[in-house]
Amino acid sequence: MANYRKEGDIAVITLKNPPVNALSHAVRSSIDHCLTRAQNDNDVSAVVLCGDGGVFCAGADIKEFSKNQHRLVPTIRDNVRQLEASDKPVVAAIAGIALGGGLEIALGCHYRIGNVNARIGFPEVLIGILPAAAGTQRLPRVAGVANSLDLILSGRHASARQALKMGILDKVVPGDVVEAAIDYAKSVAYKPVSLRRVSEMPVKGVEKADILFQEARKNTMKKSRGAIAPMNCLRAIEAAVNSPNYEEGLKKESELGNLLGTGNQAPAMSYAFFAERTAQKWELPGGKATYKSTKPLPVKTAAVIGCGTMGTGITISLITSNIPVVLLEADKKLLERGLKFIQQVFARNVKQRRMKADAAKKLISLVTPTLDYQQIKDVDLVIEAVFENMKLKKEIFAKLDAVCKPSAILCSNTSSLNIDEMASATKRPDKVVGTHFFAPAHLMKLLENIRGKDTSPETIATVMTLGKTIKKVPVLVGNCTGFLGNRMHWIRVTEASFLIEEGCLPEEVDRVLEDFGFPLGPLKVSDLSGLDVGWRIRQSQGITGEKVPAGTPLRYRQGQRYCPIPDMLCEQGHFGQKTGKGYYKYERPGAFQAMNDPDIKDMIVAYCRDHNIERRKIPYQEILERSLYCMINEGFKILEDGIATRMEDIDTIWLYGYAWPRHTGGPMYYATKMVGLPKVYERVCHYASAHPDIMHWQPSDLLKKMALQEAATSHL
Ligand code: COA
């Protein structure tokens, strides 16, 4: 758990808990023993603390939280105290990462040396807690208030160079950091440590603290949307500045930390952390193949077909991870426009100092633009990203099949169309797979990979690994209309249109969901992604054409309740943000800020009047339940159908593709752990009987089964 060895008169304590040296109880106890041993050994003049396997430490062992084992003594705070109290200088040798409790341990040491590639940070806010082993009190003493607010509230990782500049690291070295730390320890071995004890240092940057706190408070309230950890982190940093001494600040940190530790958001966010990792451990239904049993093919080169918004975003994602891309487009002008967009994105990165100009130039040079299919014949993998038209896609897949080498994998970026139908246009259906990126593809983390009926495990392994390589969060799902994400999204948007028809205005529906924690309500999202997309799909399915005479109370299509308001908007050119009008109006086409539109209100009210639909005031709770439970019910149907194999797959897709508020874990976690399945099922049944004409309210069998099971066990 922690090894002890001596290099001359330097004791070297090495944390050993693969893969990331998380601070489990055993590791904490080991640190305690090793330090005591070093203290008691008269031949030891100084100590180096480092991590095994090229990693310093990823902090508390998150798995211990649910069992409360993180509270067993020695706690991380005890380790920090003991390290700092040592009369023999302790030097932290940081390779890889020092995160959360790992950084707190390092801040307990008297000196900190980092490898040039090391990253440090306090990601606690991302799992709903705060750095509770004195991190909020110590960081402001070495890095100042501004840097502490930046790191602790964002949870971001800082590079070694940034950490050096902030004063967190004392030195950054290019080579072996342990060797460097041993040398450093020798040079400080007999120096007094009193001036190096962080708890005894004054907080830095207090002069501007008030303004910084004011700004941070404003930003946090705007961004956190119901998550309580960010504000508690902020209050804890304030306590470092405003408390009469370190110990008092520490008490406040404990108080705020305990509030988070006993609430329901921290478990939801820890769940989200592991859900994302579980989702990547894919398996086929029935365990026919798994990530463990299947080797991916190497992807050294790729091609992207189509140079629109999606194609260029996907190209940027690939080249940013050093995968050369042949970018193929049928239209020369579109190709030029796409290339220009790619250059602009990198130019912006350079301007914002996220990357050096020569590095950007090198990455852009990885794109080979072409109008000629022959240029893609040798690539390992192709991603088709043309617009949603099956006929066109099938033509392209047939062409790809004829041109590409036999081992090449053929992917489609479709967001809803049938993968098997595309595969049927080729002689290699085993190598055809869906890779659904989310717009903007170079920024959004989710990659929804869709297995067709013939997609081979090797093909699946390849696109799942590719997802990780290009720093996305890949999730494997089955093939159905809309796949997993859009199948649920469409239901919530349909339900939103029924709510509008029955009495809500768009802004009322959105406000409830935004209060719940979504950055944008479903109707603003529809405006953002374009109302015409769904309209064209409905047109192609022949749903929109049916005329219903005025005076008809409710409208039906193909035997189901149907709200024509979204079609009416499109018929009037309201395609959303891109046309400057949708459910909302915008200052100009493409503007982001949605404004309530009185004309839309008039249109909705007139429509209801014409069709004898009596509008009513819909209670807040009903809007919330109908918006969330309809899609949760669908989530259970998705599990039933085998489109997803685990709850974690659904939650990860919603967290990363649709900005589901992380502090509620995801739709399935929220239903299961925060609301309770018996209650969700009861409400689904209630809405099913209130709206027998809305098919999506028919309760899922799986939801019913699990709810009844839970109700039975809770009565035991
Ligand atoms: N506690 C327990 N397990 C942890 C962990 C932690 N703090 N950090 C990582 N792990 C586990 C992961 O669950 C994963 O386990 P698995 O292989 O069984 O799925 C494994 O370590 C590797 O992590 P992964 O995230 O897949 O590797 P990575 O190289 O992409 O990222 C980190 C490594 C450390 C950057 C990332 O895991 C991370 O951010 N960890 C959380 C750190 C944190 O929040 N610390 C604060 C706690 S106070």
Ligand 1, atom 19: closest residue by C-alpha: 277
- Other C-beta atoms lying within 10 Å of the C-beta of residue 536: 16
- Check if 60 has its Cβ closer than 6 Å to any atom of ligand 1: yes
Bridge partners (DSSP) of residue 411 are 383, 433
The torsion angles phi and psi of 193, rounded to 5 degrees, stand at: -95, -5
Q: Which amino acid is at 671?
A: A
CATH of domain 485-617: 1.10.1040.10
Mean pLDDT value across residues 95-112:
98
Predicted confidence at residue 112, as pLDDT, reads 98
The per-residue pLDDT for 556 is 74
- Res. 303: pLDDT tops 70: yes
Please answer whether residues 305 and 696 qualify as being in contact, where contact means their C-beta atoms are separated by less than 8 angstroms: no
Structure-token pair, residue 617? 């005031």
Q: What's the confidence (pLDDT) of residue 560?
A: 79
Reduced to 3 states (helix: H, G, I; strand: E, B; else coil), residue 471 is: coil
Q: What are phi and psi of 190, to 5 degrees?
A: -105, 15
Residue 244 near ligand 1, beta carbon < 6 Å? no
CATH entry, 285-477, from 3.10.200.10, 3.90.340.10, 3.40.50.720, 3.20.20.80: 3.40.50.720
Q: Is 402 exposed, middle or buried (0-12, 13-18, 19+ CB in 10 A)?
A: exposed
Question: Which is nearest to 368 in space by CA: 438, 404, 318, 408?
Answer: 318
Instruction: Judge if the beta carbon of residue 135 lies within 6 A of ligand 1.
Output: no
What stretches of 544-679 adopt beta strand conformation (E)? 556-557, 560-561
Kindly list the domain boundaries of the chain, sorted by start residue: 2-261, 285-477, 485-617, 621-714
Measure CA 173 to chain center.
Answer: 32
229 close to ligand 1 (CB < 6 Angstrom)? no
- Flag the least confident range among 455-464, 476-485, 556-565: 556-565
Residues ≥6 apart with Cβ < 8 Å to 132: 77, 124, 253, 254, 257, 261
3-class secondary-structure state, position 463: helix
Annotate 174-212 with DSSP letters as a single string: SS-HHHHHHHHHHHHTTS--GGG-GGGSPPS--TTHHHH
Pocket test for ligand 1, best of 17, 20, 61 (most atoms within 8 A of CB): 20
| Residue 514 CA to ligand 1 centre (angstroms) | 30
Q: How far apart are the first and last CA of the chain?
A: 41
Give the C-alpha separation, 200 to 181, whole Å.
23
The yes-or-no answer on residue 502 being catalytic is: no
What is the overall mean pLDDT for the chain? 95
Cβ of 57 closer than 6 Å to ligand 1, yes or no, is no
Predicted local confidence at residue 546, as pLDDT: 64
Give the three-class secondary structure for 451.
Answer: strand
Could you report the per-residue pLDDT of 362-378, keeping only the tens digit for each? Answer: 999 999 999 999 999 99
Helices (H), 503-584: 506-516, 522-529, 531-540, 565-571
Kindly report the number of other CB atoms within 10 A of residue 84's CB atom: 20
Q: Quick check: is 124 catalytic?
A: yes
Show the DSSP H helices in 5-123 as ranges. 25-40, 76-85, 101-108
What's the confidence (pLDDT) of residue 407? 97
* pLDDT tens per residue across span 170-223: 999 999 999 999 999 999 998 999 999 999 999 999 999 999 999 999 999 988
713 burial level (CB within 10 Å; 0-12, 13-18, 19+): exposed
pLDDT band at 553 (very low <50, low <70, confident <90, very high): low
| Cα–Cα dist 594/581, whole Å | 9
Look at residue 225 and tell me whether its pLDDT is greater than 90: no
Ligand 1, atom nearest to 55 Cα: 34
Our separate counts of H helices and E strands in the chain read 27, 19
What distance in Å separates the CA atoms of residue 406 and residue 414, rounded to the nearest whole number?
22
Q: How many Å lie between the centroid of ligand 1 and the Cα of residue 345?
A: 30
Cβ of 104 less than 6 Å from ligand 1: no
Please give the DSSP secondary-structure letter assigned to residue 388: S
pLDDT in tens, 115-160: 999 999 999 999 999 999 999 999 999 999 999 999 999 999 999 9
* 2-261 against 285-477: fold identical: no
What proportions of the chain, in percent to the nearest 5, are helix, strand and coil? Answer: 55, 15, 35
Residue 68, CB half-sphere, CA atoms under 13 Å: how many? 2
Whole-angstrom Cα distance, residue 657 to residue 652? 8
- Answer yes or no: is the C-beta of 155 below 6 A from any ligand 1 atom: no
pLDDT at residue 714 in the model: 79
- Per the residue annotation, which of 7, 64, 104, 501 is the catalytic one? 104
Q: Which two tokens stand for residue 54?
A: 């090229």
Atom of ligand 1 nearest to the CA of 99: 45
- Beta strand ranges found along 378-511 (DSSP E): 381-384, 409-412, 432-437, 446-451, 473-478
20 lines ligand 1 (CB under 6 A): yes
- pLDDT for position 37: 97
Q: How far is CA 31 from its chain centroid?
A: 33
CA of 124, closest atom in ligand 1: 46
CA 63 to ligand 1: nearest atom:
2
**Residue that wins the pLDDT comparison between 482 and 326:** 326
Least confident of 5-14, 397-406, 529-538: 529-538
699 DSSP 8-state letter = P
Contact 264, 272 (CB under 8 A): no
Cα–Cα distances (Å) from 253 to 96, 99, 546, 555, in that order, read: 28, 18, 63, 57
The class level of CATH for 2-261 reads alpha beta
Q: How confident is the model at residue 547 (pLDDT cuts 50, 70, 90)?
A: low
**What integer is the mean pLDDT of 696-703?**
97
Q: Which CATH code of 3.30.70.420, 3.40.190.10, 3.40.109.10, 1.10.1040.10 fits the domain covering 621-714? A: 1.10.1040.10
Distance (Å, whole) CA 351 – CA 345: 10
Q: Is the peptide bond before 244 cis (omega within 30 degrees of 0)?
A: no
Using pLDDT thresholds of 50, 70 and 90, give the confidence band for residue 557. Answer: confident
3-state DSSP call for residue 433?
strand
Beta strands (DSSP E) in 531-625 are 556-557, 560-561
Question: How far apart are alpha carbons 49 and 113 in whole angstroms?
Answer: 10
Both structure tokens of 2: 């922690």
Per-residue pLDDT, 317: 98
Active-site annotation holder among 84, 124, 238, 253: 124
Residue type (1 letter), 576: G
- pTM (two decimals): 0.94
